[in-house]
Amino acid sequence: MAIQYWFIRHPFGWYEKHPNIISYNKETLESSKNRNIFYSIEPNDKVVYFSYTPNEKKGIIGLFKVDSEQRENKANDEIYYKTSPLFAFDKPKSCNFKKVVGHCLKPMSGVFELKTEEYKKIKAFVLGMEEPTNEQEVVTLFAKVHPCLGFKHIKKTQQKYPDATAINSEGSPSSAIDISEDFDFVSKMIKI
């Protein structure tokens, strides 16, 4: 099935407690118009995660990939999906959707489907750049998203092979693991 794009709205406090889950209270979901929409989410779909709650931080939290089939947490009476960040901010980033997408996105509900072009425009806003079209742009993108790819920091980049040497997130100062990746390969890996 083709990848679909979703706009999910959760309170920022929920995201801080559960950064790798999108969920809905089952009772609320069953009585809402979001029911069929939320159940339509599939693994590998992409999510624009948005925080909007009165008196809380408001804005885009990041771009996420859905990692699991729908699951149920019977203890909390919730339906949920596991997610992983493609790119996430430390705090919500304000966005003028009319300027970025060309029209307002004022969801009355906590979840709705985005058109591919809407997602691409929001993604360009979040990343601060369009899709990479050459190796230097891939290097730039890698520099922005390396933590989400599991790299703690970049030790160096260069024009000859290897294009970069990075320390993975499992490494420690005393036992750091160098990981060298050629950006031609990395560009195929980065599917934000």
Separation between Cα atoms, residue 74 and residue 79, nearest integer Å: 9
CATH superfamily of the domain spanning 5-126:
ph1033 like domains (3.10.590.10)
pLDDT in tens, 108-131: 568 889 999 999 999 999 998 988
Please, are residues 52 and 58 in contact by the beta-carbon 8 Å criterion?
A: yes
Separation between Cα atoms, residue 145 and residue 87, nearest integer Å: 6
Which of left, alpha, beta for 62 (phi over 0: left; psi -120 to 50: alpha)? left
Per-residue confidence (pLDDT) for residue 174, from 0 to 100 = 40
Q: Using alpha carbons, list the distances in angstroms from residue 160 to 18, 62, 125, 155, 164.
A: 41, 33, 31, 15, 9
* Chain length of the chain: 192
* Confidence band for 49, pLDDT divided at 50, 70 and 90: very high
Separation between Cα atoms, residue 11 and residue 14, nearest integer Å: 5
Helix (H) or strand (E) holding 12: helix 12-17
Domain boundaries, the chain: 5-126, 135-189
Separation between Cα atoms, residue 154 and residue 162, nearest integer Å: 12
Per-residue confidence (pLDDT) for residue 125, from 0 to 100 = 93
Dihedral sign computed on CA atoms, order 8, 125, 137, 87? negative
Question: How many Cα atoms occupy the beta-carbon half-sphere of 187 within 13 Å?
Answer: 14
Separation between Cα atoms, residue 145 and residue 95, nearest integer Å: 20
Per-residue confidence (pLDDT) for residue 12, from 0 to 100 = 85
Q: Average pLDDT, stretch 85-111?
A: 82
- Mean pLDDT, rounded, of the chain: 82
Separation between Cα atoms, residue 146 and residue 130, nearest integer Å: 17
pLDDT in tens, 131-184: 888 878 888 888 888 887 778 888 888 877 777 788 877 764 444 445 555 666
The model's pTM is: 0.80
Per-residue confidence (pLDDT) for residue 69, from 0 to 100 = 92
Separation between Cα atoms, residue 48 and residue 84, nearest integer Å: 12
pLDDT in tens, 34-46: 677 888 999 999 9
User: What tokens appear for 31 in the block?
Assistant: 């009585």
